[in-house]
Amino acid sequence: MIMTQQSVLNQYAPFTTQTVVEFVKTLSIFDHPNNFTVKEIGDGNLNLVFQLTELETSRSIIVKQALPYAKVVGESWPLSLNRARIESESLHINAKVVPDLVPRVLHTDYELACTVMEDLSDHSILRTELISNRHYPLLAEHIGRYVAHTLFTTSDFALHPFVKKELVQKFTNPDLCKITEDLVFTDPFFDHPTNHFPIELRPAVEKLWADETLLTEIGVLKFQFLTQAEALLHGDLHTGSIFVTEQSTKVIDPEFAFFGPIGFDLGQFFANIILNALSKLAITNQRSTLLNELLRTIERTWITFVQEFTKLWDKSNHEIYTNVNGILPRFLLKIWTDAIGFAGCEIIRRTIGLAHVADLDTIEDFHTQIEIKKRAIQLGSDLIKSRTQLYSLAHFIQRIKGALRS
């Protein structure tokens, strides 16, 4: 692994297929650096992504470079390039505890805001696979372990207070946190120009905006996101940030990483599994089997998280209060209720906010799509308002099943 804070080029500029080749030639990564192909493969909103393949060996790598603005909007939405450093350092921290669940970083250049990492072309994007009705039996175990280990080991339970506070400063990520604060917790719940939804959803959306009880609860959740620096989050743990094979799971793109409430990552993952489950209402073939598999994924993720978190709690914590009876169950309950509330926010914002999910938007029959999106809005609202009453996994699953009944 090679790390550098100094660029081999004079100054930052967005890569092209030509300049990224010149950059990679300076690195000791390829045995034959003058004989490889390059193509741009990025389709995200914030970055450039290139795949470079050595012709003699077919070995390939990925070069990801941050842009100084959001591609989805343009240069009118400026963003700090510091997020490239945050992403790379987050991957290094995670690799210490779950090396099999994150891509391997080969090189980082802070000046050029880019990271070189292993190519995961042998994996598939989880969202695409779920939309295609494929099931990955090891996914829940992998994500439950990923979340438990990355969050516990960066919390006050595992770190000396000085180390933890130093990391909080290091991972202060105001630009990308502001995106979450606006697009997840604020804009979808008001009549804001970033919102995007069909006119047929307008009555349901206006009902949402007028629900003062809901707005109160979202305000509480947003304040938790703003103030509770419990652990180093991934910050954007949706099914588009997870690559899979039958035996392997890789969590990518932690550029939204910052110290926040532990339940946030779990809530985002749960929400995106729920959104895919809602999309299955548009099909008839194997619907019941697919829904049961998705619900089991949620169940098994939480069960694995609790098991792994508890093991770490018992052997790796240094906080004296963790030895007091009742502290662990109470803290797990907080994580659980937070996760349900954050899941509700994510479900709603992915339905009516700026950034949608293909799970719902690719439903071909427009009437069916609208009806399913209405259910998503209602379920998201219900989860937010009732999160403190859904004490158990069984209650949560039953509430989801209620929204899935056709």
Q: Check which CATH number belongs to the domain holding 14 and give it.
A: 3.30.200.20
135 and 69, same structural domain?
A: no
Same-domain status, 83 and 135: no
For 345-379, b/e burial (b = at least 16 CB within 10 A) is: bbbbbbbbbbebbbbbeebeeeeebbbbbbbbbbb
In the chain, the number of structural domains is 2
Query: Does residue 141 sit in the same domain as residue 271?
Result: yes
- Considering the domain architecture, whether residues 85 and 179 belong to the same structural domain is answered as no
**Same domain for 289 and 162:** yes
Q: Could you give the 3-state DSSP secondary structure of residue 307?
A: helix
Q: What's the CA gap between 121 and 243, in Å, rounded?
A: 9
Same domain membership, residue 200 and residue 341: yes
Note whether 163 and 122 are within 8 A (CB).
no
The pLDDT, as a whole number, for residue 70 is: 80
Domain coverage including residue 17: 2-118
* Listed residues 118, 148, 171: the one ending a domain: 118
Given this model, what pLDDT does residue 1 score? Answer: 41
Last residue of a domain, one of 71, 86, 118: 118
Which of 317, 339, 338, 341 is closest to 327 using CA atoms?
317
pLDDT of residue 44: 64
Euclidean distance between CA atoms 326 and 308, whole angstroms: 18
Same domain membership, residue 222 and residue 135 = yes
CA distance 277 to 405: 11
pTM here is: 0.95
Write down the pLDDT at residue 277: 98
For residue 202, give both structure tokens: 């307008």
- The predicted pLDDT at position 9 comes to 61
CA–CA separation, 61 and 262 (whole Å):
32
Same domain, 338 and 362: yes
Q: Tell me, what's the pLDDT at 399?
A: 97
Question: Looking at residue 138, which CATH number applies to its domain?
Answer: 3.90.1200.10
Q: Which residues of the chain have pLDDT under 70?
A: 1-10, 43-44, 72, 406
Sign of the C-alpha dihedral, residues 293, 355, 220, 330? positive
Do 242 and 251 touch, CB atoms closer than 8 A?
yes
pLDDT at 72: 66
* Confidence (pLDDT) at 5: 43
pLDDT digits (tens, 9 = 90+) for 114-123: 999 999 999 9
Find, among 122, 121, 139, the residue nearest to 130 by Cα. 139
For the residues of 165-205, what is the DSSP string, one character each? HHHHHHT--HHHHHHHHHHTTTGGGTT-TT----GGGHHHH
Same domain, 103 and 166: no
Give the per-residue pLDDT at 3.
44
Rg (CA), the chain: 21
Mark whether 17 and 153 lie in a shared domain.
no
- Residue 133, pLDDT score: 98
Same domain for 355 and 258, yes or no, is yes
Give tens-digit pLDDT for 348-391.
999 999 999 999 999 999 999 999 999 999 999 999 999 999 99
Residue 274 confidence (pLDDT): 98
Claim to verify: residue 172 and residue 268 sit in the same structural domain: yes
Boundary (domain end) residue, out of 64, 92, 118: 118
Looking from the CA of 405 toward its CB, the CA atoms found within 13 Å total: 5
Sheet strands side by side (includes 249-251): 124-125, 242-244, 249-251
